[in-house]
Structure 1
Amino acid sequence: MNFNFLFFTLFFILFSRAQEVKTVFNDEFIKSCGINNEEYTTIKNSFSKYIKDFDVSTSVNYWIINEKSVFDYPDEDFVNLMLESQKENLSIFIQAIKKVNPDTYQIELSFLKNIDCKLEIYTVYKVFAKLTKSEFKYINNIDFEKKYNKYQTKTITFFSENSIDFNQANVFEEENKNLSKFFETDIINFKYFKSKSVYNFMSDRGYLLERTMLLPNQNGAETFVGENLIFSGNNSEVNIHELTHLYIFKCFPNRHNLIDEGLATYLGGSKGLSYKEHLKNIYLSIKDKNINLYNELFFGNYVVDDTSSLWYTAGALLCDIAVEKGGKKMLFELINSGKRNIDLFKKIEDIFSVEEDKIDDLLKHELKRKYDQYYP
């Protein structure tokens, strides 16, 4: 195969019309994968129609729904990939189709981005197509491979490749009660997928390549707040940070992302470190540098050792000093500030008497004060 010609043709097709998500099939290679022309044509037409007619509200109709599944909506990951494709102007290259049993096929998809006239791989994802009643419906990898076992405690449904530690599960149950009391709301029933790393749970969901799978610190998680579902890569039955997100989502519709992540870090730490440990890392990293923390916070991405993020830590710091100043009442006011930056700036001014152009000074002062307090 002439790969230079293939990618020239691919580039021309994918980016000649930039506003819609386009699909290209690697015809020559796919036909060499052991499926006949009739099978290939049927799958190709079915998938092309799904993408062409894609709509978030009806997407799930193309998927096989299993009440025992990890996901309530089996298309959750694919919908997010499609939304990302529309936002980032990605295109889909169907690179391989493999028959895995008489009525089911594995489809490998590369999501490609045009960066400076070069095709770069954004994400690689696999999905399964099953022939049912003369039509193809899709199955996500986590349902098809079913590498997990399922365990139930009072309010938590655990999914894990290995057995779970029920002593730790009971600890998480207690933390769930505590958060319910803290947020003054009913206790949340939720699902928790325990995994050894981000790479593992992303792979279980069908990702072959995705940015977070390559991060040096794999102690991370992803929460689907609309499904009360947590994927945790900390190899533990407990993840207070992610559970906090479920309560914030339930109680504060006008939350700003900075305070959402900040409160989750303030109460539950992140990346295996407590809020106070993150504060120490950030303070020691910036104290002798000429850094504008306002600019880094809202327009940059300041991170120390791939672990301590200014975004998470500064958000937690604002929560900390709000509690110090006015208790939980003032903290809840801060969380419910509004989703826009301008709303958050107004709330910071109301609570801390600091205008937007002085946020850098506020953060530097409070980082030092809290560091001295926690590490005398």
Structure 2
Amino acid sequence: MSTKNKSNYENTYWSSDDFDTYWFPYQDIYRIEDKDSISNFYQPTLLHIVDTDEENKKLIKVAYIGHNTATEENTLKYIYNILATKSDSGVVLSNSTQYFTKDWKKIEKGSLSYVISPNKEFNEQEAEKQIKDIEKISAFFNTEPLPITYYSCTNLKELFQIKGFDYNPIMYREGGGGLSARQNIVFSANSSEFYTHEIMHLYIIAFYYSRAQLFNEGMATYFGGSRKYSYTWHKKNLKTYLAENPEIDLSLHLEPFERFFAGETSIPYMIGALICERTFRLYGKEKLLALLEKGEMWDLLNDVGLTKENLNTELRKELLLPPTLAIANSD
């Protein structure tokens, strides 16, 4: 298992087809053994080898457990499933997502290949709405629509289960969400066929590999909202929240994955989105896309008139203006 930490694009023990499908098929368990600065704190423990309906395939169930020698306590990090396939040439490992979704309904819609949970009904209207947004995004980037595989799950627990987890603490959080992955894959935990935020990430990854995460999340939120709500909704929500909390300095919350929320609204995501909206309103599309180019974050911000000293004031002013949308979308 340690060989997975040596390369993200090749592994003798892993199915070569997986690298075409997922690009980085074991990303979820890459360096999973580490805890902060401690290497190999969490050790793999084989829990069970599970039979499947194919004789040559088994599910390998592995727990990653850390032991604190000072307290003599054990800590469970993850329980993860890996598919092992035996052939004449030996055994190869692979990502288990396709195994866990092999009986899910497959529906083709435009450039989208939906994979639908058996615990929900396919929503035709949401799919049509998603196709329209993809057309607008593709036009914005001057490209053809990307072929996207969209896993539509009912909640976070189901999402993590099809990604191979029996246990991951995130899977038990309230609310929905989702993620995008290389090779144009979207995982939605919103019980919805519409998730422009994550699809926007795929377009950003396709054309702007070097990017500041603040602008990556900001652009996705500006174009596609976040979770189940549009950018316009989040803007109104944040405006109300900041009016009630005038002491908050937005320039101190530029780490996009800081868990700082105004109800359903991620404040760091919205800071990035407001920067994008202000840039588009004042400078246009070219400058907006320039935020996604390689560069130091404050250099890019300075180029659109934002500094550490004025960012809080400028973004609060932007909140008071009606939305200026780069693509028309609906609440």
The one-letter amino acid paired with 1:183 is F
| In 2, Cα distance between equivalents of 1:195 and 1:51 | 31
Is the radius of gyration larger for structure 1 or structure 2? Answer: 1
Please tell me whether residue 237 in structure 1 is matched to residue 193 in structure 2.
yes
Q: What's the offset of the Cα at 1:72?
A: 0.5
| In 2, Cα distance between equivalents of 1:191 and 1:208 | 23
**Once superposed, what is the RMSD of the aligned Cα atoms?**
3.1
1:246-261 alignment runs, 5 A limit? 246-261=202-217
What corresponds to 1:320 in structure 2?
A: 277
Count of residue pairs the alignment pairs up: 313
If each structure's helix is expressed as a fraction of its own residues, which one has the higher value? 1
Q: What's the offset of the Cα at 1:64?
A: 4.2
133 and 86 in structure 1: CA distance in 2 versus 1, 3 angstrom threshold: farther
| In 1, Cα distance between equivalents of 2:211 and 2:17 | 33
TM-score normalised according to structure 2 size: 0.82
| In 1, Cα distance between equivalents of 2:290 and 2:152 | 33
What corresponds to 1:188 in structure 2?
A: 146
Q: What's the offset of the Cα at 1:280?
A: 2.6
Please tell me whether residue 335 in structure 1 is matched to residue 292 in structure 2.
yes
| In 1, Cα distance between equivalents of 2:17 and 2:307 | 52
| In 2, Cα distance between equivalents of 1:334 and 1:53 | 33
| In 1, Cα distance between equivalents of 2:187 and 2:124 | 18
8 Å Cα contact 2:50-2:61 kept in structure 1: no
| In 2, Cα distance between equivalents of 1:121 and 1:357 | 44
8 Å Cα contact 2:195-2:224 kept in structure 1: yes
| In 2, Cα distance between equivalents of 1:201 and 1:84 | 19
Please tell me whether residue 72 in structure 1 is matched to residue 51 in structure 2.
no
Q: Which runs of 5+ in 2 are unaligned?
A: 325-331
Deviations 1:322-352 (A, max 9, x none): 121122222122333x35xxx2212222212
Deviations 1:144-196 (A, max 9, x none): 33231222233121111346344443332232221111112232111111111
8 Å Cα contact 2:151-2:188 kept in structure 1: yes
Q: Which runs of 5+ in 1 are unaligned?
A: 1-49
Q: What's the offset of the Cα at 1:206?
A: 1.5
What corresponds to 1:295 in structure 2?
A: 252
| In 2, Cα distance between equivalents of 1:75 and 1:247 | 18
64 and 150 in structure 1: CA distance in 2 versus 1, 3 angstrom threshold: farther
The one-letter amino acid paired with 1:93 is P
| In 2, Cα distance between equivalents of 1:183 and 1:175 | 12
TM-score normalised according to structure 1 size: 0.73
What corresponds to 2:29 in structure 1?
A: 81
- Tell me the SS of whatever aligns to 1:346: helix
The one-letter amino acid paired with 2:173 is L
8 Å Cα contact 2:4-2:30 kept in structure 1: no
